[in-house]
Structure 1
Amino acid sequence: MKRLMLILALMLAPLLPVVAPAPALAVQPDEVLPDPVLEARARALSKVLRCPVCQSENIDESNAEVSRDLRILVRERLLAGDSDSAVLDYITARYGEYVLFQPDASGGNLILWLAGPVMLLAGLGIGFGFLRSRRASAEPPLVALDAAEQRRLEEILNK
């Protein structure tokens, strides 16, 4: 009976809706700015900055201490009157380009930006060439039978 229920549950599982949990934001109430416009800018900037500890989370979602420090630093720079690009430049100068989820496509980063598409095109070209050569060599050339082979074939067919 247990096996039957397990099989039934596994069969019905793909039909159930998948509900993704909402990410828990790590922004503490004492970090929130009183001005909603500045807070919205701070949240937008926090979503493009990578947590140096977590690496796959932005600083808006990370609970690491360094992320809290970065969130506070972003808000301090916004209160000082910096533009969004000036805040990003300041943090990048202090922590390096690693904190940006999308670094500029210039200099050494240009190689990284172009490597993926170049590799994809190279792979497609190699695959196309392989399939084309395989198709051409798959069929052996037709050669006419000589007289001895033709007689032997007729003997086999007439038996």
Structure 2
Amino acid sequence: MYLISILCVIVITVVNVWMVGGNFFQLFDLISFLFLFLMFIPLLIAGGLLKDFNNAFRIGVGKRKAANLVELKRAGEAVSLAIKIILADACFCVALQQIILFLNAESFESLRPNIGISFITFFYALGMILFLLPLQARINIKMQEFISGKE
């Protein structure tokens, strides 16, 4: 089911781009993705939850069961922190790109394509969050099942 949700996000993105007459390959910007990724991992490490973030995937998507409630809570906290980091990171990157763009702009016509490119970072962040929200829900459900003793 998790794979189906990811596939649905991809299909809806492709259909939306096609409906507005855009080129799907305009959405690819390696530097924007690297901005997100290179800030995400160190901040997750600084929060001390990188290992728990990895465990969240094993517990939420895989067949592995949590050993105890603390492991489930840490996995849930790691996913929650990851969502917050991604959102804050995207806002930071877009704001920084916009500031630099407006300071160096020569004309309005030169701004338009660059503004679109700077918002690709936010688009990637929202896509990553859409990927993590079902995982967070699954971890929360497993936590509730563990507490009630049904697991």
Bucket of the pairwise TM-score, normalised by the shorter protein: under 0.3
Normalised to the residue count of structure 1, the TM-score between the two structures is: 0.24
The answer to which structure, 1 or 2, has the higher relative contact order (CA under 8 A, 6+ apart) is: 2
Normalised to the residue count of structure 2, the TM-score between the two structures is: 0.25
Structure ranking higher in helix proportion: 2
